[in-house]
Structure 1
């Protein structure tokens, strides 16, 4: 996967995604990356962070989320909703539809915070 020279998401939609995340989790938000099956774009990075993360590696791995909808289809657990990954220095939340996705990184949050931001993102992605 590679970023495209041009934006892959229009400014209005980008603003909606950022606003939903900032409203839901505030200053705990570290970064937001929007991606499709073949491109990605980091749309937000908190000002105190460096822009040196290996986004291509993250996107390659997180793009497996496109398969989660079918992989878990019919599970007794119900429909796949979102993924939370826990790291030493923060968290990653991934929300996907069959064609696009968003992952964001955060500082510490509660499970309720994760659910709220994931549901806000899912609503925007399904528009």
Structure 2
């Protein structure tokens, strides 16, 4: 995992944006491409034992499958994914080249929307 996958300014911008959108509910933020990833933030009370390479592989494939499956749907364009777990949530925002996974504690749908819009703007 190279330390220069994403430049420091963009990494900082992603973390600041996520913190602004969800505050202390932010658990982690990870930037990824098809081939690699870099964890940008992990809240201090959490363990560094997650298998991020498996998560990233699943989320990249999931993005491609989801985008293809819903293309042309009456629902409109695919925007982002929320996954719900016993101890938190995962939000995936992905473009054709890159993506960001953000994990959070419980937040509102408005917070998810604000988070997705803000991170989406960073990914451009």
Q: Do they superpose with TM above 0.5?
A: yes
Q: Which residue of 1 aligns with 2:80?
A: 82
Task: Give the structure with the higher percent helix.
Answer: 2
5+ long unaligned stretches in structure 2 = none
Runs of 4+ in 1 over 6 A off after TM superposition: none
Count of residues in Structure 1 that have an aligned counterpart in Structure 2: 123
Q: What pairs up with 1:1-127 in 2 under 5 angstroms?
A: 4-64=1-61, 65-126=63-124
Is 1:90–1:107's contact at 8 Å kept on the other side of the alignment? yes
Corresponding residue SS for 1:6: coil
Gaps of 5+ in 1: none
C-alpha deviations, 1:64-92, integer Å up to 9, x for none? 21443333211110000000000001000
Q: TM-score, normalised by structure 2?
A: 0.94
Please, what TM-score do these two structures have when normalized by structure 1?
Answer: 0.92
